[in-house]
Amino acid sequence: MPSFEAEITTTVEVDFEVFCAKCGAGLCSQSTGGNTTRRRQPYVSVEPCERCLEAEYDKGHTEGYAEGSKDGYDSGYEEGYHVAE
């Protein structure tokens, strides 16, 4: 679970949970928190949700394949490419 410290008039530690906004998966193990080195401001760094990342990869692959196939057929592919003689 990520946490950071913030100085108000005293130092407090804030613990919170992080969830994927798209699928609701818990992201605490993929999150880190702390204070910036220079300004000592709190920050949280969250890696992408593995489940949604994989789904988007698959979607991109499928859409790219469909688009490439369509482009091939639009360019004259039917039973194989024909070489102009």
SS3 labels along 10-27: CEEEEECCCECCCCCCEC
Which DSSP letter does residue 79 get?
A: S
Note the pLDDT of residue 75: 65
The mean pLDDT value of the chain amounts to 80
CB 77 within 8 A of CB 51: no
Tens-place pLDDT, residues 56-73: 888 888 888 777 777 766
CB 52 within 8 A of CB 64: no
- What's the pTM value of the predicted model, to 2 decimals? 0.52
Cα–Cα distance, 55 to 16 (Å, whole number): 26
Cα–Cα distance, 49 to 20 (Å, whole number): 6
Per the structure block, which two tokens stand in for 55? 């789904």
Tens-place pLDDT, residues 34-51: 889 998 888 999 988 888
